[in-house]
Amino acid sequence: MFSKKESKELRELFWTSFGKSYPRKWMLYRTGISGVNLKFHFDLKKAMVSLDLEGIDPTRLRIIWERLISLQTLLRSEYLTDASYDPEHLLESKKQIKRIYVKKEGLCIHDKNTWQEAMSFLNDHMSILEEFVKEHAEIIDP
């Protein structure tokens, strides 16, 4: 069991190490599509990359989500075979968003022995997700 301070220090060390191991400028919030953000997640149980749809008017949100659903077969066949679609994802803040994600269970940010596997997973899958968004931005963006 780690204290809050120790946990925070480990998280900071992981993300600093990740940045040094994979030094590149990630797309993340700069997708060029309003309301579409790419995010990294790593916690006590899993590593995950996601495409989050939030912070836009409901009509635009619905249209973008419908377009992403129409690309679901393509995403799963040519990019991320294990991508999951969650139209009603609830964040810890109790905010509801729409999310497409890929996760790897059994990795823990408090366990340095899983860090290399997590880093590799995050790098590989975010690179693929970025490629998908770049190649299909004209379809996704109304």
In order of start, what are the domains of the chain with their CATH numbers?
23-140 (3.30.1460)
Q: What is the pLDDT of residue 1?
A: 74
Q: What is the pLDDT of residue 2?
A: 81
Return the DSSP state at 141. Answer: -
> Rounded distance, CA 25 to CA 61, Å?
27
First to last CA, the chain: 47
Q: What are phi and psi of 109, to 5 degrees?
A: -65, -20
Give the bridge partners for 100, in sequence order.
51, 85
Q: Give all strands (DSSP E) within 6-119, no chain letters.
A: 36-42, 46-53, 84-90, 96-105
Q: What is the mean predicted confidence (pLDDT) over 47-76? A: 96
Q: What are phi and psi of 52, to 5 degrees?
A: -105, 135
Q: What is the pTM of this model?
A: 0.93
Place of tokens 């990019």: 79
Mean pLDDT of the chain: 95
Helices (H), 34-109: 58-70, 72-74
Total count of residues recorded for the chain: 142
Is residue 26's pLDDT more than 80?
A: yes
Q: What is the pLDDT of residue 107?
A: 98
Strand order across the beta sheet in which 36-42 lies: 36-42, 46-53, 96-105, 84-90
- 26, 27, 50, 47: which is closest to 122 by C-alpha? 47
pLDDT in tens, 87-108: 999 998 999 999 999 999 999 9
The answer to whether the CB of 96 falls within 8 A of the CB of 19 is: no
Is residue 142's pLDDT more than 90?
A: no
